[in-house]
Amino acid sequence: MTAPILRRLEDLRGMQKAWMRAGETVGVVPTMGALHAGHLSLVEAAKAASDRVIVTIFVNPRQFNNAEDLVNYPRTELDDAEKLAPFGVDAIYVPDPDQIYPEGYATNVSVAGFTDVMEGEHRPGHFDGVATVVAKLFLQTGADQAFFGQKDYQQLMVVRRMARDLDIPIEVTGCPTVREPSGLAMSSRNLRLSPDGLARAARLYPLLQSIAARLAGGEVFHTLIGPVRDQLAAAGFTDIEYLDLRCEKRLEQLETPIRPARLFVAAWMDGIRLIDNIEVPALTG
Ligand code: PAF
């Protein structure tokens, strides 16, 4: 059954209050729509953990540092509602813009520190936009639990820190990245790749896996970067914004995985910006 689509905060609050009175827990899956199997895995996790599930769909203008990217971002509300139908979610919250940013809106939520690197460095203002809208969605939904994909690992960390610092009583769960059979991490932006671009973008994941294996075998990161950048360029990536090995708790740069670590990459294919990250096994011995 298709879930009700709510566009006004008062309607969402009405539903949420009734659930709270009944002692039911609420899970939220914040999205910008163009739902794919990665989002649906978050919905599944939310359904398993919470009595009630709200999926939010809001293309948040404040987190786009590139006007063209905002205009071109896929908007597929009807398809999204159909994709959600089999999951039996309780509400789809698609707020009208003034429900998030009413006339005269003046508040910004900014998480300092690990927002300076990677996505934060290359997309100025992006994480302020994310932290602001997610804080609002957490408060508006009153959810007990929230579910985010690890593909946006840095975002997951920012959101967790924001909720903790602002005492928003919500548990933030990170769910594994879902990949195409080719290994390409699922992303709404993949919709904008040509078939040839998709095939070439799929070279990214095996390359990350091979670097991870070499690091786990004792090789030092800086000796691998040059050849890997060359291989990415040969695959057709036009701009490799970053390729970093970082500790997964504080995002400090590492040369070897002496602590739990992840490899992070952002690169452009066919004019589309793609990001990915994978866990790197810790050095043994
Ligand atoms: O990951 C996303 O789709 C967005 O950044 C989010 C978390 C829905 C906030 O707009």
- Structure pTM? 0.96
Mean pLDDT, residues 90-104 taken together: 98
Q: How far apart are CA 272 and CA 233, in angstroms?
A: 15
The per-residue pLDDT for 18 is 97
Largest CA distance in the chain: 59
CA dihedral 121, 124, 127, 130 (to 10 degrees): -150
pLDDT tens digits for range 11-53: 999 999 999 999 999 999 999 999 999 999 999 999 999 999 9
Q: Say yes or no: CB of residue 95 within 6 Å of ligand 1.
A: no
Give the pLDDT confidence score for residue 2 in this predicted structure. 83
Substitution site in 155, 177, 186, 188 for ligand 1 pocket (most atoms within 8 Å of beta carbon): 155
The alpha carbon of 175 is separated from its chain's Cα centroid by a whole number of angstroms, namely 10
- Coil, strand, or helix at residue 217? coil
The pLDDT assigned to 91 comes to 98
Mean pLDDT, all residues of the chain: 96
Say yes or no to pLDDT of 65 above 80.
Answer: yes
Q: What token pair was written down for 269?
A: 């294919």
DSSP 184: P
pLDDT computed for residue 285 by the predictor:
61
Residue written as tokens 């006339």? 103
Pick the atom of ligand 1 nearest to 58's CA: 10
The better pLDDT of the pair 200, 74 is held by 200
Q: What is the Cβ-side half-sphere exposure of residue 29, based on CA atoms within 13 angstroms?
A: 28
Cα separation of 147 and 26, whole Å? 11
Active site residue 39: yes
* Whole-number percent of the chain with pLDDT over 70: 99
Summarised one tens digit per residue, pLDDT across range 203-258 is 999 999 999 999 999 999 999 999 999 999 999 999 999 999 999 999 999 999 99
At 1, the pLDDT band (50, 70, 90 cuts) reads confident
Q: How far is CA 111 from the centre of its chain?
A: 16
Whether 63 lines ligand 1, by a CB cut-off of 6 Å, is: yes
Predicted confidence at residue 66, as pLDDT, reads: 87
Domains in the chain, start-ordered, CATH in brackets?
Answer: 5-175 (3.40.50.620), 188-278 (3.30.1300.10)
**For a pocket test of ligand 1, which of 36, 40, 63 has the largest count of ligand atoms closer than 8 A to its C-beta?**
63
User: What is the C-alpha to C-alpha distance for residues 142 and 19, in angstroms, rounded to an integer?
Assistant: 11
User: Distance of CA 153 to CAs 52, 86, 177, 276, Å?
Assistant: 25, 28, 9, 9
- Asked whether 28 lines ligand 1 (CB < 6 A), one says no
Give the residue, by CA position, lying nearest to ligand 1 atom 6.
Answer: 31
Question: Could you tell me which residues are beta bridge partners of residue 55?
Answer: 29, 92
